[in-house]
Structure 1
């Protein structure tokens, strides 16, 4: 089985975590679910370079540095997970990919769901993304 490598970011500010409501389309993993920002590694890219590129593509912002947190394996996907302080104001970020984004609380993450004004309803967390965030929250 070919492993798909992706790099994702835990971006935090004032005890909250920046999450993306993924597009509600059937050909992606976790459609219409809350998740972390990031994406696939291009050939020859390191996970860190891919993550910074993906953040600029998805929200027009990337931190100066990121720190490695863990690897997470789910079926054929290997996630390279990094973390960084979100130094930008969320209102200054530009969402280029996904349906919505917002800073979610630890309570939202533990509940496994959160309301989105853009979708007009409560949306679930992608299970891998919730597991990764809970692991990070427990570690800090």
Structure 2
């Protein structure tokens, strides 16, 4: 996969909501100031599941219950970048079994449980940002697909 990046991301569910991260609003990162899923890139020798566990622990200090990880799908899209041509996302559904107050946000601007309406709206309000923030189209599509399957 030349000029591609592999990532593992989590649909962290609690009831009928999904925990999302408001990415930092700084230049040079992908999707700055947008709502997205927690997770990140795979290290060279990692499986997607191992990367997911590591990233979630780093980002919000949450130890994923390993036996509860369910593969949701793989989503790929092309980037408008000279260095990266595409992103391949391994998406997993994982229950969030702790209160938000028990999580430590180590990466990102804000975090919030978002519902199906936020997926349909393509974003949500952030108390920390003090304004409505969008989500990238690919993240919105994953969330819409999740809610479609969730309701079935």
Shorter chain as denominator, the TM-score bin is: over 0.9
Scaled by the length of structure 2, what TM-score is found?
Answer: 0.90
Residue aligning to 1:110:
120
Residue aligning to 1:41:
42
User: C-alpha separation between the residues in 1 aligned to 2:106 and 2:43?
Assistant: 19
Within 5 Å, give how 1:1-140 maps onto structure 2.
Answer: 1-65=2-66, 66-75=69-78, 76-140=86-150
* 1:27-84 CA distance string (max 9 Å, x none): 1111000000000000100000000000000000032121111000011100000011
Q: Secondary structure at the match of 1:83?
A: strand
Shift of the alpha carbon at 1:108? 1.1
Provide runs of 4+ in structure 1 moved above 2 Å.
none
Shift of the alpha carbon at 1:2? 2.0
Q: Secondary structure at the match of 2:147?
A: helix
Scaled by the length of structure 1, what TM-score is found?
Answer: 0.97
Q: Secondary structure at the match of 2:43?
A: coil
User: C-alpha separation between the residues in 1 aligned to 2:136 and 2:53?
Assistant: 22
